[in-house]
Amino acid sequence: MNKALNEVEGQMARLRTEMRVAAEASDTALLSDLRSRLESAQDHWFTLLGVPANPPTAAIAEPRPLRSVRERVLQTLNLIGAPASQKTIRTVHEAFFGGTPLSSARMASLRRDEERSFRSHRVVRTHVCPALLAQSFRSARSVLASSAWPLHQRLLAPGTDQVNYLTMAINLADAAAGTAGENHGDGDAINALLASIAANIPGLAGNKPASAGRIRDAAQRELDRLLPADLAARDQAARTAAKLNSAEQMFGVPAPQST
């Protein structure tokens, strides 16, 4: 048992050191991740000692902090299933997950924090990264993606915006129809969001609100028509982008310096 305790105590000490470094670098995304890992290590330490991880008064204690902005953005991107603008991510998150709204100011700095964390190589994890323009491989302004997605899914060719919009419509309609009871969202907000999405899908015009099923079916028909050409363009661009280094594939090539 002493060996196990020593190992956990060593891990806690290393995590505290890494937290100090992250704090000095203002790497808030990494700091949040390290804090979560330290809390888990502390719980394990208490378990090894045979005492409760929390005192008896924990039932009336303050709740733990909310999930980090990075985690909530990734949660929303996974629901959408495609790169999306920061505004869209905020709207979808508020409708489907509720809780504290995503701050536009914090989201604006998140991409920089994520790139700094990626380049530091301190923690291997899924990052929030920008979508990349398929022709120049520069980062698309205010459009975010998940690093867990394959490269072609993070690229934006000329027809990709509509493909991504239809993909989002299908996934949100499925979520509204099948899992609305499993999230903390606002049913009225979800319905309003789906109605606004439906207004831009061919075949759903009219005064009568479209059901989630109709939205999904109409979006799928249009996606089946547009996806082959768009996917071919992105696959071709991805083969070229594969020659870039890992950071450029994730965060884009730098813009040329003006002279």
Domain map of the chain by residue range?
A: 2-51, 69-251
Residue 245: pLDDT band by 50, 70, 90 thresholds? very high
Inform me whether the pLDDT recorded for 22 exceeds 70. Answer: no
Q: What pLDDT, on a 0 to 100 scale, did the predictor assign at position 61?
A: 42
Q: What are the tokens at 252?
A: 């884009």
Q: Are 89 and 144 in contact (CB under 8 A)?
A: yes
Q: What are the tokens at 175?
A: 């979520």
CB within 8 Å of 20: residues ≥ 6 apart: none
In this structure, what are the phi and psi dihedrals at residue 130, rounded to the nearest 5 degrees?
-80, 150
Mean pLDDT of the region 72-91: 96
CA distance 91 to 96: 9
Q: What are the tokens at 130?
A: 């920008």
Q: What are the tokens at 217?
A: 């079916």
Inform me whether the pLDDT recorded for 127 exceeds 60. Answer: yes
Q: Model confidence over 182-195: pLDDT tens digits?
A: 455 688 899 999 99
CA distance 29 to 111: 10
Average pLDDT, the chain: 83
CA distance 52 to 48: 10
CA distance 148 to 125: 9
Q: For residue 130, give the nearest of 145, 119, 117 by alpha carbon.
A: 145
Mean pLDDT of the region 170-175: 94
User: Which of 7-21, 55-69, 164-178, 226-240 is predicted least confidently?
Assistant: 55-69
Inform me whether the pLDDT recorded for 179 exceeds 70. Answer: no
Inform me whether the pLDDT recorded for 32 exceeds 50. Answer: yes
Higher-pLDDT residue of 95 and 35 is: 95
CB within 8 Å of 223: residues ≥ 6 apart: 163, 166, 167, 170
pTM, two decimals, is: 0.73
HSE of 239, CA atoms in CB hemisphere, 13 A: 5
Inform me whether the pLDDT recorded for 11 exceeds 90. Answer: no
